[in-house]
Structure 1
Amino acid sequence: MNVRSSRTAALAIAIISVAGLAACSDSDDAAGGSGSGDVVQITVADLPPSTEEARREQFLDKVAAFEAENPDIDIEPAEGKWEANTFAARLASGELETVFRVPLTEPQALIARGQVADITDEAADLPHFDTVDERALAPVQDESGRLFGIPTDLYAMGLLYNRELFTQAGLDPDDPPATWDDVRAAARQIAERTGVPGFAFPTINNTGGWVFTSMVYSFGGRLQDDDGDEVSSTLTDDPAVEALELLKAMRWDDQSMGTQHLSEALEVVKAFAAGQVGMVIGLPSQYRDYAVQYSGSPEAFGVTALPTGSEPSTLLSGAVMMVSPKASDEQRAAAVKWIDFNYLRSKHDADIAGEGAAAQAADGLPVGIPKVPFYGDEVVAAVLAAESGHVNVPLENFQPFVDRLEGQEFVPEPRVAAQEVYGALDSALQAVLTQQDADPAAELAAADDKARAAIDRAQR
């Protein structure tokens, strides 16, 4: 389902990431436990590991505060997190928590298989939920509009670029590339004048396929056709071929992409933060990794909306919290309360948003990265006002993204077997970027065969 941005430029994106999966289990314990007496017991995922002491303590403090506010609910936190290689096994064995996280690629399949709870009625009672942007809820609804999850973060892909390298190469950092032809020209100029690769692309751990999907969307293509009763793969359609042919031309004809092409997305961002590459496809929210984890220069960071080929659109990604279908009525209500308390409250409660922004700034964490609004304009405006006094990022460097996002469509990730499709695309990307004689159309045809098999299995 395509969704067009209707927000003003001043309220732009921080992107929502979405996650959470519920598991089937034959016992109350696996669903969180029904509790004893008047106390409802639930298990919740996302507890940071003991190796991340500060974050773990913050999470446990949140649990304690929630239980103090809701003495009839007992929470058992767990370190469970979504991983592509283990999720299916955890789901089948009933190991998932009452409340769990999944990426935005997963909800539709879980909904179709009846592996998550319907939380429509419980969510309707949450503060300001009637103002939530319909774009955010579409990936977690069935055909009748029933709700099976709550997005906690949504993200829209953009183009990250190094403003300092742009200047060194004679490019205007305040007027970044708007089309893929612009990207190709800028990458070549950066490589020729600075000796630094002008553009980099991930190719492993499914991250190459994920990033390539956003590129295909911007060329007007899609990876799947879901207009009929069943989803079919479309990796061999013209937009995908055109996108991969462009990458091949930049790699081999222009020599503007360097020679290292077996990296995942975060490794590419790390190289970008070190000034070792001029441009990468990424998220504005990756400024946190860039500045905090990889010590990138705030002044050098730039981001604009994803360049366009034939259509101004970008990938909508994120994470969703979902609830076990084995949860009782009381557990579902408790689970949704916890999701609001831990993940949503800072998005709609101005006082809590201001306190959180102050704490983040005191810890040296970024405050003010533009976000895709989750709630209505009035709610968002109050939150932004509360956070404004603690902003510590170079807002002007995000302005091209804010200004250009207005006219772009948001397109969700592939609906069926997305991770398998991304893995198949990884192989095509690796071939084209490491073998000069690789044929983009042939590599996509091979990837399409793998994708079709995965999609067929998922729809049985």
Structure 2
Amino acid sequence: MKSTRRNVALTLVGALTISALAACSSSSDGETTTDAAETPAADEPVTIQVAMDEGLEQGAIDAFDERIAQFQEANPNITVEKQEYNWVGTTFTADLAGGTLPDVFTVPFTDGRGLIERQQIADISAQVAELPYADDFSENVAVAGEDADGNMWLIPIAAYGQGIHYNRALFTEAGLDPDAPPTTWDEVQEAAKTISDKTGQAGYVEMTSANTGGWILTTLVYALGGRAETQEGETTTATINTPEYKKALEMLASMRWDDDSMGSNFSHDWGTSHADFAAGKIGMFISGGGDYGNLVTQNAMPEEDYGVTVLPLEGDDGAVLGGGTLAAVNAKATPEEQAAAVKWIDFYYMEKLTDKDAAIADAQVTADQDQPVGAPVLPVFDKATYDESQEWIADLINVPLEQFAPYSDNIYDQPLAAEPPVATQDLYAALDPVVQAVLTDENADIDKLLSDAETNVQGIIDAS
């Protein structure tokens, strides 16, 4: 569930209401945090572990290693060790408590507030404030990593708006035009049935597990004009038992039981859905619009098969669910490790967005390893800054930009709305079994499922 920056149209994250945290206090797991204002010796040798996506193909690993080598050459006192890591909602808390996370790791926007409140990450705000672009973040995006006083503990590195990914090869095999993907939900359902009937593959797949079932169901609800929560003052109310949630589930039930267009696997999570889509087993599925890199580098999807388009929006309040990715530093890191970690985040994630030479260097290394360069994403700063960064690397872009056009030509005209602001991941987890029930039980009582889920979610909200 992954990221963007300064486009003023992106109202991705609501204001945080947490209190400021005291320096050098104990965290909820017994770890001691260190005052971020301490200045470690600049030349003291230090080693840090940094997150690298799991399951990368060798070319992507080689590109990552080359970036590490470049960083170490520029910072000879810092040794960087890579550690495979993917954020998974159902295991992250245990990984955090168990101390198995690297010094630099990533989390979705939805985790930022809780990690700060519980002091489970390092307070790197003093170091972040010294970065040349510290004041250039979109206010709506920056707040995801800030405490109540506006101090940035986590750095927003990416943003996303949900989209429909579709397999162009399956579209062609089914007699559909891959350059004219569906623009309404009725057309999505019709295309899914056609793909299933003509190719024998799943026309459309819905994620259902590891919090992704609730995430994608809520994405459908946003697109239909609904929301999962409403806020009035300091009161948050669950809005699950609504016409929009019912309509979304009825659409899924129709595709599953009437059209038989959703295949036979109803336990997909983020990883398995991407793997099966890349393997040509899925015609369409919903996920963040910037997932191309994962599909190509981790799942070996042929680039000619890839397509992505925007979600159809209905009603006066139809919107695209948006979120993002934050880079965090482990609370167990020493002051020296924290400083080195911020340098790595700046070098690896941020410089390519803000500095021409860094952008070209990153793109060159990536292109030299035959990895994708220039796949369109939502900007982290404003669109003008993003467009400029794309111009810097224009000669190195190696992705089929025309295949992204249904998404990239339209996403900026769509309203984006933040994920549910309170107990987000717990809300998604509570909705996983609702989606699973509808897809595995033809007689599932949608009204009762939603009524029970709303009660459950309201209890979660009230306890948070």
Q: Distance in 1 between matches of 2:66 and 2:237?
A: 46
Shift of 1:316: 1.8
Q: Equivalent residue for 2:288?
A: 283
Percentage of matched positions with identical amino acids: 36
Q: Equivalent residue for 1:341?
A: 347
SS in 2 for 1:101: strand
* 1:37 to 1:433, Cα distance in 2 relative to 1, 3 A: closer
Q: Distance in 1 between matches of 2:127 and 2:152?
A: 10
Structural mapping, 1:318-329, within 5 Å? 318-323=324-329
Supply the AA of the counterpart residue of 1:342.
Answer: Y
Q: Distance in 2 between matches of 1:266 and 1:48?
A: 12
1:237 aligns with 2:242: yes
SS in 2 for 1:262: coil
Q: Distance in 2 between matches of 1:302 and 1:35?
A: 48
Structural mapping, 1:338-417, within 5 Å? 338-417=344-423
Q: Distance in 1 between matches of 2:176 and 2:68?
A: 50
Matched-pair contact (CA < 8 Å) for 1:23–1:324: no
Which segment is superposed worse, 85-94 or 266-275?
Answer: 85-94
Supply the AA of the counterpart residue of 2:207.
Answer: P
Which segment is superposed worse, 189-198 or 402-411?
Answer: 189-198
* 1:200 to 1:98, Cα distance in 2 relative to 1, 3 A: closer
Supply the AA of the counterpart residue of 2:109.
Answer: L
Structural mapping, 1:34-433, within 5 Å? 39=44, 43-46=48-51, 62=67, 65-66=70-71, 69-70=74-75, 74=78, 77=81, 79=83, 81=85, 82-89=87-94, 91=96, 99-116=104-121, 119-310=124-315, 311-323=317-329, 334-433=340-439
Matched-pair contact (CA < 8 Å) for 1:99–1:335: yes
SS in 1 for 2:152: coil
- Residues 155-208 of structure 1 show CA distances to partners (whole Å, capped at 9, x for unaligned) of 221001223333444433322222212212222333344444321112122222
Q: Distance in 1 between matches of 2:294 and 2:390?
A: 22
SS in 2 for 1:148: coil
Q: Equivalent residue for 1:436?
A: 442
Matched-pair contact (CA < 8 Å) for 2:426–2:460: yes
Q: Distance in 2 between matches of 1:369 and 1:95?
A: 32
Q: Distance in 2 between matches of 1:116 and 1:394?
A: 39
* 1:456 to 1:53, Cα distance in 2 relative to 1, 3 A: farther
1:447 aligns with 2:447: no
* Structure 2 alignment gaps of length 5 or more: 11-26
* 1:416 to 1:123, Cα distance in 2 relative to 1, 3 A: same
Shift of 1:67: 5.4
Q: Number of aligned pairs?
A: 442
Matched-pair contact (CA < 8 Å) for 1:188–1:256: yes
* 1:381 to 1:288, Cα distance in 2 relative to 1, 3 A: closer
Q: Distance in 2 between matches of 1:87 and 1:4?
A: 25
TM-score after normalising by structure 1: 0.81
Shift of 1:112: 3.4
Kindly report the root-mean-square deviation, in angstroms, between the aligned alpha carbons of the 2 structures.
3.8
Which segment is superposed worse, 135-144 or 380-389?
Answer: 135-144
* 1:326 to 1:201, Cα distance in 2 relative to 1, 3 A: closer
Matched-pair contact (CA < 8 Å) for 1:262–1:430: yes
Matched-pair contact (CA < 8 Å) for 1:30–1:97: no
Supply the AA of the counterpart residue of 1:260.
Answer: N
Q: Distance in 2 between matches of 1:50 and 1:248?
A: 33
Q: Distance in 2 between matches of 1:149 and 1:265?
A: 23
Shift of 1:350: 1.9
SS in 1 for 2:205: coil
Q: Equivalent residue for 1:19?
A: none
Q: Distance in 1 between matches of 2:386 and 2:48?
A: 30
* 1:272 to 1:332, Cα distance in 2 relative to 1, 3 A: closer
Matched-pair contact (CA < 8 Å) for 1:117–1:327: yes
* Structure 1 alignment gaps of length 5 or more: 13-21
* 1:166 to 1:340, Cα distance in 2 relative to 1, 3 A: same
Q: Distance in 2 between matches of 1:254 and 1:313?
A: 27
